[in-house]
Amino acid sequence: MKFTQGKIIAITLVVGLGVLIAFLPHKPGKEQPGKEVLTLDSKVDKAVEIITQGKGSPMQGIKLLKEVIEEDPNNEKALYYLGNFSIQSGQYKKAINRFESLTKVNPSHIEGWYLLGYSFEMERDTNNAIKNYEFVVQSASNKEISKLAEEGINKLLKH
């Protein structure tokens, strides 16, 4: 087979074009090699880091936590942090909803019960605050949280 100058140029152009296309940037699909795939726990950790360490907008972190809840409504870690961040921002009704969900998912989550009581206290719902604090006192093996709950009860009964 005899190659003419035209055929050699054509082959060179085709091979060169193929190499050029292979090295051009391309729009990646859904599967992106090297792209971090976040588990639900790592999403929660990332959200908490964003919020607590100022590594982005707090709402960016809250959005990540809500994504976790959308995917797994019973995710204890996400419910706990959403409740905590609700308390920090003075959104006690939201905190109550989160901690009620948390304590349904995990009835032995004593800190969740305490924070539920605290949220009720901040909403001036004395009866529910005392009820939750009493549960903590009766159930807690942690003396510190039990002491905090007792103090909450005593404070509420004085008013």
In the predicted model, is pLDDT for residue 99 greater than 90? Answer: yes
- Name the residue ranges covered by the structural domains of the chain: 38-158
* Residue 109 CB-half CA count within 13 A: 20
User: Average of pLDDT values for 150-154?
Assistant: 96
- For 1-40, b where at least 16 C-beta lie within 10 A, e where not — what string? eeeeeeeeeeeeeeeeeeeeeeeeeeeeeeeeeeeeeeee
Position 35 scores a pLDDT of 55
Give ∠ CA 73-53-39 in degrees, rounded to 5: 35
- Percent with pLDDT over 90 in the chain: 62
**CATH superfamily ID and name for 38-158:** Tetratricopeptide repeat domain (1.25.40.10)
User: Average of pLDDT values for 29-35?
Assistant: 47
The C-alpha atoms of residue 139 and residue 120 are separated, in whole angstroms, by 19
Q: What is the mean pLDDT of the chain?
A: 83
Residue indicated by tokens 């004593």: 110
